[in-house]
Structure 1
Amino acid sequence: MIYPTMLEGKRIQLLPLRLDHAEELFKCAGYPEIWTYLPNKVEKFEDMVELINNSIQAKESGLEYPFVVYDKELKKLVGSTRLLNISEANRNFEIGWTWYTPEVWRTRVNTECKYVLLKYGFEEFQAVRIQFKADIRNERSNRAIERIGAVKEGILRQDRILHDGYIRNAYIYSVIRPEWPDIKMKLEEYLSN
């Protein structure tokens, strides 16, 4: 499977994550609230380098495809997102490991990222299912996933140990192929404003 070298919306571009993004990503990652519900925590530059190197290794193994998020309005990188648990045989993957600098929280950035990733998934990758997971305590992420129209399927109990030792429970959501046309229309309405 050939993955995209760029996905683009009106405000954002998703570009393949590279090690030379580390410095700019580290600048926008310096907010502890970003890392509360994520498995790793970025406190120093070396943490960002390790995070990127791990992502690139997962990409090389075919399990993940990580992107940086470039904000065309702000003219800078504002975060990262990934395709995870990629299964070409089953034509599915997960969208996750998404984080943004708080400067773009509650803007169109996240909606547009999800839209271009879902569009790629259903229209180019020919996915039958795309899933999302979020810590059940992460109200902001859960609301965002529900807002795009993903269906909450249940709770994955104790699915991950976070950087602080907390064993989290996560909600699991999905969008399946027959739901995509309605969700696409809904997202395009959100993004038309």
Structure 2
Amino acid sequence: MSNVNYNEIGQILGVPVPDWKGALAPDGRPLHGQYCYMEKLDIDTHCSGLFEAFSKNENGSNWTYLPVGPFETEADFRGWLEIGCVNPDPFFYVIRRQSDDLILGMASYLRIDPTMGSIEVGHIHFSPLMQRTPASTECMYMMMKHAFEDLGHRRYEWKCNNLNEPSKKAAERLGFSFEGVFRQMSVIKGHNRDTAWFSILNREWKKAKEGFETWLSPDNFDANGKQKSSLQTK
């Protein structure tokens, strides 16, 4: 067994993390890609565009596993943004299409712990304009890259309702490893929520990054925008 360490009384210890000084918290810098870019949420700038984008999901299915919504009016939606989306944690980004600046969705960092180098991605809400497009993968790649390379985190988390099969499949596709289910973790909208936990570690990032960049290359898409090869992050 490699990297085995013991203390002075013979108890086994974890792998040393020499010179660890902690990570950084998100600072709101924009994140730019080929297909989309991300900017810090500003309610006055983004509220109407977000509400319009989310309204294209007419049956409200995108809100089912989120703790809030759907919202009947823009005023109600704005009220939620003002209460829950302007704090340092969760820290929200808005996603725009690179070609025309159209607002596509939002996502956040949360459970931000720079001392331990752990950060989660969550409150992911892609409008129908964004779903199943390269931008949906690219924004997740940009947030992961930023967390590991710019902010210096050791652990990147993904959590979702254990009944949310699309979210669990997305986590695995993006390179996260399943860690288990926290049973009866919360009550959401009057229903029990068992929460599935996933993570990817900084030592796993290099291989995942290579997979993302290969998949996101323009050479991987045909003239109709269809992928030639699937994403391989592991």
Q: What is the TM-score with the length of structure 2 in the denominator? A: 0.76
Which structure's residues are more often helix, by fraction? Answer: 1
Residue pair 1:41, 1:47 contacting (<8 A) in 2 also: no
1:35 aligns with 2:60: no
Q: Extract unaligned runs of 5+ from structure 2.
A: 1-24, 221-234
Larger Rg: 2
Higher relative contact order (CA 8 A, sep 6+): 1
Residue pair 2:33, 2:98 contacting (<8 A) in 1 also: no
CA offset at residue 87 of structure 1? 0.6
1:2–1:78: structure 2 CA closer, same or farther, 3 Å change rule? closer
- The equivalent position to 1:85 in structure 2, one of 93, 111, 122, is 111
Partner of 1:170: 195
Residue pair 1:55, 1:66 contacting (<8 A) in 2 also: no
Residue pair 1:16, 1:66 contacting (<8 A) in 2 also: yes
SS of the counterpart of 1:104?
Answer: coil
CA offset at residue 2 of structure 1? 5.7
RMSD between superposed Cα atoms in Å: 1.5
CA offset at residue 57 of structure 1? 4.1
Residue pair 2:26, 2:151 contacting (<8 A) in 1 also: no
Query: CA deviation digits over 1:31-80, x for unaligned, max 9?
Result: 20110110000322123212211344432xxx221000101245310110
1:12 aligns with 2:41: no
Residue pair 2:86, 2:92 contacting (<8 A) in 1 also: no
Q: 2:114 is matched by which residue type in structure 1? A: E
1:26 aligns with 2:51: yes
Supply the distance in 2 between the matched residues of 1:12 and 1:160 (Cα, whole angstroms).
33
CA offset at residue 171 of structure 1? 1.0
Partner of 1:183: 208
CA offset at residue 132 of structure 1? 0.3
1:117–1:2: structure 2 CA closer, same or farther, 3 Å change rule? closer
SS of the counterpart of 2:87?
Answer: helix
Residue pair 2:105, 2:130 contacting (<8 A) in 1 also: no
1:78–1:130: structure 2 CA closer, same or farther, 3 Å change rule? same
Supply the distance in 1 between the matched residues of 2:202 and 2:87 (Cα, whole angstroms).
26
Aligned counterparts, 1:1-193, within 5 A: 1=25, 3-20=27-44, 21-30=46-55, 31=57, 32-43=60-71, 44-59=73-88, 63-73=89-99, 75-163=101-189, 165-192=190-217, 193=220
Supply the distance in 1 between the matched residues of 2:181 and 2:76 (Cα, whole angstroms).
29
CA offset at residue 103 of structure 1? 2.5
Residue pair 1:121, 1:130 contacting (<8 A) in 2 also: yes
Supply the distance in 2 between the matched residues of 1:170 and 1:133 (Cα, whole angstroms).
6
CA offset at residue 4 of structure 1? 3.4
How many residues align? The count is 189
Identity, % of aligned positions:
28
Residue pair 1:131, 1:172 contacting (<8 A) in 2 also: yes
Q: Extract unaligned runs of 5+ from structure 1.
A: none
Supply the distance in 1 between the matched residues of 2:108 and 2:169 (Cα, whole angstroms).
19
